[in-house]
Amino acid sequence: MKKFFILLLMIGVVTALAACSPNTSDTQGDEGEELTIEKQGSFSAGGVVVETPGTYESQKFDNWKPYPEGQTYHGDHASVFYQIPEKARDFPMVFLHGAGQSARTWQTTPDGRDGFQNIFLKRGFSTYLIDQPRRGQAGRSTVESQITPVADEQMWFEIWRMGRWPEYSKNVQFPQDEKSLEQFFQWMTPDTGSFDANLVSDATAKVFDESGKGILVTHSQGGLPGWMAAAQTDKVAAVASYEPGNYLFPENEVPESLPSRTGALQGISVPMDEFKKLTEIPIVIYFGDYIPEANEISDDLGAENWRVRLELGRQFVETVNKYGGDATLVELPKIGVHGNTHFMFAEQNNVELADLLSDWMKEKGLDKRGQ
Amino acid sequence: MKKFFILLLMIGVVTALAACSPNTSDTQGDEGEELTIEKQGSFSAGGVVVETPGTYESQKFDNWKPYPEGQTYHGDHASVFYQIPEKARDFPMVFLHGAGQSARTWQTTPDGRDGFQNIFLKRGFSTYLIDQPRRGQAGRSTVESQITPVADEQMWFEIWRMGRWPEYSKNVQFPQDEKSLEQFFQWMTPDTGSFDANLVSDATAKVFDESGKGILVTHSQGGLPGWMAAAQTDKVAAVASYEPGNYLFPENEVPESLPSRTGALQGISVPMDEFKKLTEIPIVIYFGDYIPEANEISDDLGAENWRVRLELGRQFVETVNKYGGDATLVELPKIGVHGNTHFMFAEQNNVELADLLSDWMKEKGLDKRGQ
């Protein structure tokens, strides 16, 4: 293990709560108003039961030494916190976080305003927030893992396009005060077992057995298992994905690997009948600012990491639509929305981001009530 | 790592959500009714910033290989999900889970009914649910840890007094259907670093900086850091503790170690001025059923583990009250409440348990509004 120099600076609690939701020009939502919840709670979805061979001896005990023989272990499930507002719209929204994150991604913003959970609850959608298998409150992993604290926050600051440490990107929508950055870094939580897209997609699909048919909202690393879940169950009515890390393509149509400083990117091959599922539902993908065009190779880690994912996203959308699908890729700066990083849904203009999603859901008939 | 025999049984999603809150004879609450939330969200409290010596090189990259030099790492904070209902009572309730658990402990019941989070929100209390440092969504630990899946659920079933596997205790209040047990086991989530009561108490005290003066509700392993937090900040107005694992005593007054099959139990010594803080606030402790008297040594793991913790609790209450405090220990079977295990607040009679706590809070003037 790396030895750390522990700063004695104890982190004071942030005044995040004191920051109220600003008055915005949002015409669709009701931010700042009260929220009436008909039902809320927690459940697990997916997962496996592992049983160690042998016979369990009731009341055996040896000073807390493990004696797994004949005992069971429930693991690799997702943990879900759900809220159903009064007069909920027909389709719930199911949220799947990205790498190093948990449901917290959606529960607030770095500066303590309403996150997408609150915004869409207030707009009448039931929300289901996932902690994926082997992450956060779903930490019981069936595989062994080493948790090693390695200081990495400046790297993520750059990979996520907040800027070139310690400078923020020009006109960035990420709040630039110290406390917001501190709260944001504290959202991170490690994997308690290796990331497994199949496990995540399986558990995500099973969340829809509980929520009913609905809209899947994914971010980053959650993008790929999100597409897989949508190809796996008819209960995913639509997918909205914020800067997905990767994409599915039909066998023999996977584009050539895209080289980048942060690693070559190649799409994932699935049988055509699975891919076709993605052509039967509306799909929208959002990418933020500070991403160069496909051929503009850069030294910048954030630019490099997302340049190829954006480009592969274009090819994914093209392929989905070629087979009769309804996929849209929104490059925010090209529609006049500037300054967004990889965490656009939690930035200063997140109500504007929510409005874009609301408009799209309305256009696709996903926001109906009482159908 | 132990090799496991993986049962191919994939766990279906439980019909927990379908189970509605039953009509109860509760006269204080409004279970089953809607809940109006004025504000909700997430924040972190406590923790440290670790900085690796060296100089950070912006835009350096080597195929995702860590390069911690000059980078920071925020860890060992608590993660908190809070909800403030309309017309909230003056004192919020802050909930701290036990070993192997997270905020999920309070968010539902194994059979999918309202947990203490919902019950007390509906009774007008703001709720703050903690994931303690190095657990759940607060997984960024500053110390290294090995996560090893070891099948242990039958042992916990017995330690927590649900019964002698596979038989449930007679008249137990824990729901006895298979799906409830499965959901309950899925609440467990591992430590991502060694348990450190000082870290937990420090973060818990800092949660009150955010919530304001309020009532701390602890369970099991959370009991000890709960007493420590109450001794550390004036913002803990009262403590309600469900089967705490250990207790504080004044220097030179720590009782003799209590031997037990599950390990000898000894109280923790603190300076008298710290202990005195616990004499300035109302305290209530609840213990459930199936716990023998102090001198009734047993073969039963659950009986043994809690017999000594109950007995030390009696001595703690006596000591607090000797110094002018207001501590009460409630042994549920002795007031006619039978069948409760270690997870009493999530069992079939959890509304009755909540009523007991409500009555106590009312008696102590902790449920006022607009003071």
What's the pLDDT tens digit per position in A292-330?
999 999 999 999 999 999 999 999 999 999 999 999 999
Chain B CB contacts of A53 below 8 Å: 5
Q: Residues A97-136, buried b or exposed e (16+ Cβ, 10 A)?
A: bbebbbbbbbbbbbbbbbbbbbbbbbbbbbbbbbbbbbbb
d(CA A213, CA A39): 18
Q: What are the distances in angstroms from CA A152 to CA A185, A269, B52, B58, B283?
A: 10, 32, 9, 12, 43
Given this model, what pLDDT does residue A34 score? 84
How close, in Å, is residue B62 to chain A by CA atoms? 8
Interatomic CA distance for residues B319 and B322, integer angstroms: 5
Which long-range contacts does B251-257 make (Cβ < 8 Å, 24+ apart)? B253/B319, B255/B312, B255/B315
3-state secondary structure of B298: coil
Residues facing residue B130 across a β-bridge: B80, B96
Q: Which residue's entry shows tokens 């592969």?
A: A312
CATH topology (fold) of B36-44+78-363: Rossmann fold (3.40.50)
Q: Which of residues 73-92 of A touch B (CB under 8 A)?
A: 73-75, 77, 79, 81-82, 86
Choose among A34, A74, A164: nearest Cβ to B58.
Answer: A164
- Model pLDDT for residues B128-175, shown as the tens digit of each residue: 999 999 999 999 999 999 999 999 999 999 999 999 999 999 999 999
ipTM: 0.92
> What pLDDT does B185 receive?
98
CA nearest to A166 within chain B: B58
As a whole number, mean pLDDT of residues A185-202 equals 98
Tokens of B5: 């025999």
* A46 vs B184: CA distance, rounded Å: 14
The mean pLDDT value for A186-200 works out to 98
pLDDT digits (tens, 9 = 90+) for A36-57: 999 999 999 999 999 999 999 9
Contact A13 B102 (CB under 8 A): no
* Residue A115 confidence (pLDDT) above 80: yes
Cβ–Cβ below 8 Å for A158 and B59: yes
On the question of pLDDT at A6 being above 60, the answer is: no
Set of chain A residues whose Cβ sits within 8 Å of the Cβ of B149:
50, 73, 75, 140-144
Element (H, E) at B74: strand B72-75
Query: Which amino acid is it at A20?
Result: C
Check CB contact under 8 Å for A70 and B43.
Answer: no
> In B, residues 162-191, which contact A (CB 8 Å cutoff)?
164-165, 182-183, 185-190
**For position B6, what pLDDT does the model report?**
39
Stated as kind and residue range, the H or E segment containing A40 is strand A35-45
Is the pLDDT at A24 greater than 90, yes or no? no
**Closest residue by Cα to residue B44 from B197, B191, B209:** B209
B2 close contact with A: CB closer than 8 A: yes
- Report yes or no: A33 at the B interface, CB cutoff 8 Å: no
Residue A323: burial class (beta carbons within 10 Å; 0-12, 13-18, 19+): middle
> Cβ–Cβ of B58/A148 closer than 8 Å?
no
B369 Cα distance to chain centroid: 26
- Using an 8 Å CB-CB cutoff, list chain A residues near B2: 52, 66, 68
pLDDT at res. A18: 32
Tell me, yes or no, if B31 comes closer than 8 A to chain A by beta carbon: no
Sort out which chain B residues have CB atoms less than 8 A from A114's CB and list them.
41
Q: What is the length of chain B?
A: 371
B96: closest CA among B271, B214, B11? Answer: B214
Q: Going residue by residue through chain B, which has 371 residues, state the pLDDT in tens, using 9 for 90 and above.
A: 333 433 333 333 333 333 333 333 333 444 567 899 999 999 999 999 999 999 999 999 988 999 999 999 999 999 999 999 999 999 999 999 999 999 999 999 999 999 999 999 999 999 999 999 999 999 999 999 999 999 999 999 999 999 999 999 999 999 999 999 999 999 999 999 999 999 999 999 999 999 999 999 999 999 999 999 999 999 999 999 999 999 999 999 999 999 999 999 999 999 999 999 999 999 999 999 999 999 999 999 999 999 999 999 999 999 999 999 999 999 999 999 999 999 999 999 999 999 999 999 999 999 999 87
Fold for domain A37-45+76-363? Rossmann fold (3.40.50)
- Say yes or no to pLDDT of A27 above 70: no
Would the pLDDT of A15 be above 80?
Answer: no
Chain B interface disruption, residue of A69, A73, A183, most B CBs within 10 A = A73
Chain B CB contacts of A138 under 8 Å are 186, 189
Distance separating alpha carbons of residues B302 and B156, to the nearest angstrom = 9
Residues 247-306 of B with CB under 8 A from A: 261-263, 299-301
- Residue A339 — left, alpha, or beta (φ > 0 → left; ψ -120 to 50 → alpha)? left
- For position B22, what pLDDT does the model report? 35
C-alpha distances out from residue B14 to A294, B11, B180, Å: 45, 8, 8
* pLDDT at site A8: 32
Q: Taking a contact as any Cβ pair under 8 Å apart, which residues of chain B between 302 and 361 contact chain A?
A: none
Q: Give, in order, the Cα–Cα distances in Å from A173 to each of A168, A202, A311, A330, A356.
A: 10, 34, 23, 17, 16
Task: Express as a percent the part of chain A with pLDDT over 70.
Answer: 91
Which single residue is written with the structure tokens 């913002």?
Answer: B235
What pLDDT is recorded for position A33? 78
Residue A371: per-residue pLDDT: 77
From the list A192, A191, A248, the residue with the least C-alpha distance to A218 is: A248
Which residues numbered 55-74 in B keep a CB inside 8 Å of some CB on A? Answer: 56, 58-59, 61, 63-64, 66-68, 70-74
Give Cα separations from A177 to A166, A181, B81, B233, B253 (angstroms): 12, 7, 22, 28, 48
Query: Residue A369's pLDDT band (boundaries 50, 70, 90)?
Result: very high
CB contact A54 to B (< 8 Å): no
pLDDT of residue B62: 87
Does the pLDDT at position A350 exceed 50?
yes
DSSP state letters, A49-95 = EEE-SS---TT--STT----TT-EEEES-EEEEEEEETT--SS-EEE
Q: Buried b vs exposed e over A214-224: b needs ≥16 C-beta within 10 Å?
A: bbbbbbbbbbb
Sign of CA dihedral B235, B241, B244, B249: positive
Q: Which A-chain residues 110-169 have CB contacts (< 8 A) with chain B?
A: 112, 114-115, 118, 131, 135-155, 158, 164-165
pLDDT at B28: 47
